[in-house]
């Protein structure tokens, strides 16, 4: 827990210190085309959106989608894996050209970076153990339990804003995990009562971990997921949006969803 706070503090400090010396000349799209290469960041620890297969290769819904986008931009694709918390800062600082990592839109993030049009709409889910006997009818009921969530996700934001900051839930009852699989294990052994996550990984978790079930599904805070782009990169944004629209129209994205999210 402490580590997460330190990490967040570090990123903020780092960005603040580096902010003044950003090299900002030339558009990002021009740079990508000149280099004939797009550097895309992701946190490959979030199946089925992004993870590694048994050969160590990065795969997943986001990965395959991005590969198609790069193909249509006619540039090579250079993946850069890093922890989820580092991605926004990396886009801001120009370490990567963009990031696809199951990002939901949020106002706070929008102040730092830009978003593409949504390429998929997801839902939130609450997972409990089969033996769960508490009362859970509306999402706000989570306030009465020990809840786990992946740090920095929109679910984390929702819990923090709607429950903790609203005074419904004690901060001590909210455990923020670096990765969702850590939370799943803690749920199994009873360190937390409820795990809140995006619906798609939630499906994967209940199928992979014994004794877990989804108790609630719905669109709370989540919803559309987008590609994160550097702030003000309008031409790049237009290019990516155009490709996303094409892929949607062609049914490419639906086919990907079936491949990775089939329930």
SS3 of residue 120 by DSSP: strand
**Residue 105 engages another protein in binding (rule: CB under 8 A):** no
Contacts with another protein: how many residues (CB under 8 A)?
A: 44
CB of 155 to another protein, least distance (A): 17
**Residue 120 engages another protein in binding (rule: CB under 8 A):** no
**Residue 139 engages another protein in binding (rule: CB under 8 A):** no
**Residue 189 engages another protein in binding (rule: CB under 8 A):** no
Q: Which is nearer to another protein, 170 or 208 (CB)?
A: 208
Per CB under 8 A, the segment of 49-57, 66-74, 218-226, 255-263 that binds another protein is: 49-57
Instruction: Name residue 120's beta-bridge partners.
Output: 225
Q: Please spell the DSSP secondary structure of 160-209, one letter per residue.
A: IIIIITTTSS-GGGEEEESSHHHHHHHHHHTS-SEEEEEHHHHHHHHHHS
For residues 258 and 103, what is the distance between their CA atoms, to the nearest angstrom? 20
- The structure tokens 């086919």 sit at 255
28-64 in b/e form (b: 16+ CB < 10 A) is bbebbbeeeebbbbbbbbbbbbbbeeeeeebbbbbbb
**Residue 13 engages another protein in binding (rule: CB under 8 A):** yes
**Residue 179 engages another protein in binding (rule: CB under 8 A):** yes
Radius of gyration from C-alpha coordinates of the chain: 19
Q: According to CB under 8 A, which one of 1, 9, 161, 255 is a site residue for another protein?
A: 9
Query: Is the CB of residue 40 less than 8 Å from the CB of residue 77?
Result: yes
**Residue 82 engages another protein in binding (rule: CB under 8 A):** yes
Q: Which is nearer to another protein, 128 or 180 (CB)?
A: 180
Residue 37 corresponds to which tokens in the numbers above? 């290469």
Q: Which is nearer to another protein, 51 or 158 (CB)?
A: 51
Distance of CA 157 to the CA centre of its chain: 12
| Binding-site string for another protein from residue 206 to residue 225, where x marks contact by CB under 8 A and - marks none | --xx----------------
What 8-state DSSP symbol labels residue 105? P
Determine which helix (DSSP H) or strand (DSSP E) holds 79, and give its type and residue range. strand 76-81
CB of 120 to another protein, least distance (A): 20
Q: Which is nearer to another protein, 68 or 93 (CB)?
A: 93
Per CB under 8 A, the segment of 13-21, 134-142, 152-160, 166-174 that binds another protein is: 13-21
The binding site for another protein (CB under 8 A) comprises 3, 6-7, 9-11, 13-15, 17-18, 21-23, 41, 44-47, 51-56, 80-83, 85-86, 89-90, 93, 95, 178-182, 184-185, 208-209
């Amino acid at each position: 827990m402490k580590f997460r706070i330190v990490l967040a503090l570090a990123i903020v400090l780092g960005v603040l210190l580096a902010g003044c010396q950003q090299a900002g000349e030339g558009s990002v799209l021009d740079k990508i085309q000149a280099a004939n290469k797009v550097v895309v960041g992701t946190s490959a620890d979030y199946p089925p959106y992004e993870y590694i297969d048994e050969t160590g290769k990065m795969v997943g819904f986001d990965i395959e989608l991005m590969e198609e986008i790069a193909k249509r931009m006619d540039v090579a694709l250079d993946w850069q894996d890093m922890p989820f918390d580092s991605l926004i800062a990396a886009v801001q600082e120009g370490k990567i050209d963009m990031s696809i990592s199951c990002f939901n839109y949020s106002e706070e993030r929008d102040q730092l970076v830009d978003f593409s049009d949504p390429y998929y709409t997801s839902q939130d889910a609450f997972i409990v153990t089969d033996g769960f006997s508490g009362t859970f009818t509306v999402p706000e009921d989570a306030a009465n339990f020990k809840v786990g969530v992946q740090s920095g996700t929109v679910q984390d934001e929702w819990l923090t804003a709607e429950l903790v900051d609203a005074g419904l839930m004690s901060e001590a009852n909210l455990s923020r995990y670096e990765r969702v699989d850590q939370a799943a294990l803690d749920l199994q052994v009873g360190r937390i009562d409820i795990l809140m996550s995006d619906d798609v990984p939630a499906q994967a978790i209940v199928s992979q971990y014994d004794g877990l079930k989804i108790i609630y599904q719905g669109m709370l805070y989540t919803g559309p997921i987008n590609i994160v782009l550097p702030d003000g990169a309008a031409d790049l944004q237009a290019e990516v949006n155009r490709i996303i629209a094409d892929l949607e129209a062609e049914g490419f994205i639906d086919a990907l969803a079936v491949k990775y999210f089939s329930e």
